[in-house]
Structure 1
Amino acid sequence: MKKYQILIRLIKYLLFIGVLILILNTVFSFFTINYSHSFPTGLYFNRNFEDIEQGKLYIFCPEYDEKMKFAEQNGFWGNISKSCGKTPKYLKKALGLPFDKILITDDGVFVNNELIANTKIILKNKAYNKNKEFILKSDEYFMLSDYNKHSYDSRYFGIIKKYQVKKEVVPLIIFK
């Protein structure tokens, strides 16, 4: 009789752990924990969006190309998991929207002739195009961090297409 009680108790514990894992997976798919240097460390709420708005934070998955390969080889991702196939998810602000004029200089990124804070070019590599000026197309976005000048963002990897943007994120608990 004691063996059956132990077995039943073990099955209950396993069921409880399984249900707990399912609940946590569901709950935490609504949240992002940011520990990168691009924005303050903290807990962010993920939500769906209709339109991408200037100045709001978004999670997106860039294409794995030569610029992303460069980032990977030079340790720009750190220990971040590759949750978008070959690249990690990125968390940046949408600071350049469709039909905005973008100018990249050594002094930083200008959006519609306005210099964006903390975007002075630091990393000069093949991903960076000095004095590059262009107009974003209808489905293109320029994603930047105006929080940390060392962020690996659209200054280096270029534009992001709307289909690459996965969620809008809103800060809930921030640790500065």
Structure 2
Amino acid sequence: MKFFISFILGVVLLSRFFTYNISDSMPKGFYYLSVKTESIKKGDVVVIPIDRLNKEMQDMIFDRGYLPKFTKYLIKEVKGTHEDDIFLEVNELHISGEKFKIRKYDILKRSLPVLNNEDFILKKDEFITLGIKENSFDSRYFGKIKKNQVKYIAKKIN
């Protein structure tokens, strides 16, 4: 019985400090979670609870099967901050000289949300978060992320 209780406590504690990414939009594997989100910066990998996105985006993620319904988090990299020059131009998102393709349709030919330049005007505590894959469902489609939407900063465990 003591082993079972110790095992359960270990799993609970580990789940508080680690998560496993199953999505192709970021490298798959375990990530260490830090609750210190006061100073999010470009290049940080952030964990965003899906329930902190607007209802329309939550429904799109689950109804279209982008992620399984048991998934609680999106894991994305901060690619843009209020200090960056960010604008849209012909199906591309430009962030301080880097270009990121914006698709009109997902891989099953379903239309994706269309944003405009106003959606990418960032205040101090707002960020553009992207996955590493061109077909990632990220800020290109759901817009900026506010600091209070981020629950953790994550570090990939190699």
Pick the aligned partner of 2:45 from 45, 54, 57.
57
In the alignment, which residue of structure 2 is the partner of 1:9? none
Which among 94, 114, 122 is matched to residue 136 of structure 1? 122
1:67-106 → structure 2 map (5 Å cutoff):
67-77=57-67, 79=68, 81-83=70-72, 89-106=73-90
**Cα separation, partners in 2 of 1:27 and 1:82, compared to 1, 3 Å:** closer
Counterpart AA for 2:58: M
Q: 2:108 maps to what in 1?
A: none
Gaps of 5+ in 2: 106-110
- The answer on whether the counterparts of 2:103 and 2:112 sit within 8 Å (CA) in structure 1 is no
TM-score of the two chains, using structure 1 as the length reference: 0.74
- Selected match of 1:46 from 11, 16, 33: 33
Q: Which has the larger radius of gyration?
A: 1
**1:143 positional shift:** 0.6
**Corresponding position of 1:160:** 145
Per the normalisation by structure 2, the TM-score is 0.82
Q: Which residue of 2 aligns with 1:110?
A: 94
8 Å Cα contact 2:21-2:29 kept in structure 1: yes
* AA partner of residue 94 (structure 1): V
Give the secondary structure class of the aligned counterpart of 1:151: coil
Matching residue within 22, 31, 43 for 2:18: 31
Deviation of 1:25 (Å):
1.1
Q: Report deviation, 1:103.
A: 1.5
Runs (4+) off by over 3 Å: 123-126
Aligned-pair identity in percent equals 30
How far apart, CA to CA, are the structure 2 residues paired with 1:106 and 1:82?
Answer: 33
